[in-house]
Structure 1
Amino acid sequence: MCFHEVGYHNVSMADIAGAVGITAGALYRHFRDKQSLLDSAVSDSFERLYAVTSAGGGLDAMLTRLAEGTVHGRELGLLWEREARHLPAANQQVLRRRFREVNQRLAEGIGEHRAELSAADADLLGWAVLCALGSTAHHTVELDVPVLVAMTSAICAVRLPDAGEAATPPGDTAGLAPVSRREALLAAATRLFGEHGYQSVSMAEIGAAAAIAGPSVYNHFASKTEILLAALNRGTEALWLDLHEVLRVATSHGHALDLLVDGHVRFALRHRQLMGALVTEIGNLPLAERNQVRMAQRELITEWVSLLRAHRPELSQRDAHLRVRGALIVIADVARTPHLVRGPAVAGRLGAVARALLFT
């Protein structure tokens, strides 16, 4: 799937036609343009998900079918998370509604299996299951149905902490603006990239959001790519700093992972747009810079995997990698889902789900 591999804006209809061995003219007889092809790809994937979650047989059977579908087609996670935002607003709304219907089916299955859960709890766990499966689109590690079933079963079985009272997530408070014009531009760009996607934001829009006149933007950043790289480097370095602090104070490998989960949840909730850019926008960098950021992220993941294997030596390298990737994407995706982060005690509940993936 070309969209999954190189991104919507980096592929043409001719590229897609060549990938499937037909002419561009033949492709246009089926799809009027690239948007309609993307819409069809995501819609068809959601229909398959809906069929899987509607087939009955209980929660275990549902999770097995979901795992099997992921092994045979892991690209949906990136298509939905990164590419679907390039569709018209009306199409996105239809897809969101279908996704919520899929999750409703899954949440109902979880609720039937665990009658003590509230509807909100089952909804959160359903989203986490889909996010964990969607995390497989972000890497090429070989997939295995029993491992994916074990991961999703652990999510469905997690004991969530008491809800308490709902609170405004830290990242929603406006606060004060920095005096530095460069920092104001960086903050505005990060927010706009998170809301609209890098490709849909112009330098003029970034300047306007930071209350800086057009040409003055270039006194601080030579290009939009330079702003994106600065944002991604800042986010990656912040996560590295947290890891070093954790390693300094941790008393065991398990304790280190526990602290890392808390730190990652805290970062994701406070910097949701930046976390979104770290997940979805790296592909917009030039090759050399893209490889640099991805290498830093891979090395960070390797630290998590090494800690997990030291804590749970029975896990293979592959299984530990799948669990770490799943936990990180669940945190990142749930943190950027408005109705979930406005729920009660979201940090503790999100941390509990991530720990279930790692420790169960």
Structure 2
Amino acid sequence: MSAEPATRPRNRKQLIADAAGRVFNERGYHGASMEEIGARVGITAAAVYRHFPNKYALFAQCANNMVDRLLEALDGLPPDADLARRLAAITRVTVDHRETGGVYRWEARYLDRADREVLRGKFGDVVGRVTESVRREHPWPDADLRAAAALGAIGSITRHRTSIAQRRVEGLLLDAARRVASTDPSEALGGRAVDLPAQPPPRTRRGEILAAAVPLFHRDGFATVTMGRIAEAVGLAPSAIYRHYPGKGDILTAACLQAVALLNQAVDRSLDGVEEAEAAVRSLAAVYVAFSFEHTALTSVAEAELVGLPVDVQRPLLLAQREHITVWAQQLRSARPELDARAARVLVHAGFGVVVEAGRRLRWDNTQRNRDAVTRLVLSALGVDAPE
């Protein structure tokens, strides 16, 4: 008797898109291959091409999938749904798709302009609906900023792999988002002055190359910037740049290492002489926000482009990131003893998500007012009171 022919799943196109979302999330747009995406579904790359004409078309769908799901969830609510219901719907969808939902956040810059504008419009619709509820229920300033920050707290779950029960993480993120949305960011924020280490001036040719490359990586994406463009920005012949860096990846590695070193210095300074746990969390929040606003290009490149590095180069950088998270989590658990290690890590990442989305909303305009506002929102996400 001959074997019964395998039947093609009716939802194969969606299975491919879901697998692609995970690969893009893990490796970035340029690091992903159609072969690996197909392998995740158990098919060949040729079979993937039957559903998507090229990698860009597949990527564009993945970049839109999360925001489309968010809009569908919001559409399913009554028009007058309160803030809690809207945030709960968004949280549920985001946690359900945490392995694929982060593509739009960093990788969407690889979309062409028209597709990027469509995606931005959709996300603007989500923020607008949340803003409407925030403004109605908590009518103090900056409702749009608080809405974006609340969504940043929720969306943070797509950027890390902390293992935690779904219902529990939904509760943690929803509570954090509701606290952020109900916070008045215009209230005065006391505390210690932030003492940031200065980015070293480019005194050597290697330093000049790094200083020129980071803004290019930030604006155009690592994969699209050539060594020739970097050389031109420094005033070198393209061949001369290789005397200082063997390849473009080495420049990116140097940028990531510089970001880690500067942030570690800033954290050490922020905690020097601070003994009370809540004060330590406040200092960490203030310095992280200040650092993000002061070194926006450097931190964005280090965060967004890490997946483009070889695994052996990623490892020490990821270890440094985890150590940084551990410092935060330990201080947060001291301030809030009811939290266990996993819950604390989830909330720390939520605080980082607040910084990303609030910073973008403020166009990273580095004023003290903006830094104070975002710091207050971060503390709300963490569940730690701001100083009187």
TM norm. shorter chain > 0.5? yes
Instruction: Answer yes or no: is 1:154 the counterpart of 2:175.
Output: no
Q: Which of 307, 314, 317 is residue 293 of structure 1 equivalent to? A: 317
1:264–1:343 CA distance, 2 compared to 1 (3 A): closer
Task: Confirm or deny: 8 A CA contact 1:276 1:332 kept in the other structure.
Answer: no
Cα distance in structure 2, aligned partners of 1:234 and 1:67: 34
How much does 1:83 deviate? 2.0
Larger Rg: 2
Q: Which of 139, 145, 164 is residue 170 of structure 2 equivalent to? A: 145
Task: Confirm or deny: 8 A CA contact 2:212 2:230 kept in the other structure.
Answer: yes
Q: Deviation per CA, 1:304-349, whole angstroms, max 9, x where unpaired?
A: 0000001110112111111101112321343345546378821111
Cα distance in structure 2, aligned partners of 1:343 and 1:261: 16
Cα distance in structure 2, aligned partners of 1:190 and 1:348: 26
Instruction: Answer yes or no: is 1:69 the counterpart of 2:90.
Output: no
How much does 1:198 deviate? 1.0
Instruction: Answer yes or no: is 1:356 the counterpart of 2:380.
Output: yes
Q: Quick one: which amino acid aligns to residue 51 of structure 1?
A: E
Instruction: Answer yes or no: is 1:243 the counterpart of 2:267.
Output: yes
1:297-316 pair list within 5 angstroms: 297-316=321-340
Q: Which of 25, 29, 35 is residue 50 of structure 2 equivalent to? A: 29
Instruction: Answer yes or no: is 1:255 the counterpart of 2:276.
Output: no
1:261-280 pair list within 5 angstroms: 261-280=285-304
Aligned to 2:157: 136
Aligned to 1:117: 140
Aligned to 1:195: 219
1:211–1:335 CA distance, 2 compared to 1 (3 A): farther
Q: Which of 36, 50, 55 is residue 71 of structure 2 equivalent to? A: 50
Task: Confirm or deny: 8 A CA contact 2:285 2:378 kept in the other structure.
Answer: yes
Task: Confirm or deny: 8 A CA contact 1:276 1:336 kept in the other structure.
Answer: no
1:191-230 pair list within 5 angstroms: 191-230=215-254
- Range with bigger deviation, 296-305 or 204-213: 204-213
Task: Confirm or deny: 8 A CA contact 2:180 2:377 kept in the other structure.
Answer: yes
- Range with bigger deviation, 11-20 or 258-267: 11-20
Q: Percent identity over the alignment?
A: 30
Q: Quick one: which amino acid aligns to residue 53 of structure 2?
A: R
Q: Which of 13, 19, 31 is residue 10 of structure 1 equivalent to? A: 31
How much does 1:228 deviate? 0.8
How much does 1:249 deviate? 2.0
Q: Deviation per CA, 1:74-111, whole angstroms, max 9, x where unpaired?
A: 14552012322222221111111111111111111111
Q: Deviation per CA, 1:245-266, whole angstroms, max 9, x where unpaired?
A: 2232213121111111111111
Cα distance in structure 1, aligned partners of 2:382 and 2:265: 21
Cα distance in structure 1, aligned partners of 2:133 and 2:365: 22
Structure 1 stretches lacking a partner, 5+ long: 164-175
Task: Confirm or deny: 8 A CA contact 1:269 1:335 kept in the other structure.
Answer: yes
Task: Confirm or deny: 8 A CA contact 2:148 2:361 kept in the other structure.
Answer: no
Task: Confirm or deny: 8 A CA contact 2:145 2:361 kept in the other structure.
Answer: no
How much does 1:10 deviate? 2.1
Q: Quick one: which amino acid aligns to residue 245 of structure 1?
A: R
Cα distance in structure 1, aligned partners of 2:358 and 2:57: 28
Q: Quick one: which amino acid aligns to residue 275 of structure 1?
A: T
1:343–1:113 CA distance, 2 compared to 1 (3 A): farther
Aligned to 1:282: 306
3-state secondary structure, aligned to 1:152: helix
Instruction: Answer yes or no: is 1:322 the counterpart of 2:346.
Output: yes
Q: Deviation per CA, 1:238-281, whole angstroms, max 9, x where unpaired?
A: 11112222232213121111111111111111110111012111
1:342–1:306 CA distance, 2 compared to 1 (3 A): closer
Task: Confirm or deny: 8 A CA contact 2:94 2:101 kept in the other structure.
Answer: no
1:349–1:46 CA distance, 2 compared to 1 (3 A): same
Q: TM-score, normalised by structure 1?
A: 0.90
How much does 1:32 deviate? 0.9
1:93-108 pair list within 5 angstroms: 93-108=117-132
Cα distance in structure 1, aligned partners of 2:344 and 2:175: 12
Aligned to 1:184: 208
Cα distance in structure 1, aligned partners of 2:157 and 2:241: 38
Task: Confirm or deny: 8 A CA contact 2:186 2:373 kept in the other structure.
Answer: yes
Q: TM-score, normalised by structure 2?
A: 0.83
Cα distance in structure 1, aligned partners of 2:101 and 2:304: 11
3-state secondary structure, aligned to 1:161: coil
How much does 1:127 deviate? 1.1
Structure 2 stretches lacking a partner, 5+ long: 1-21, 189-199
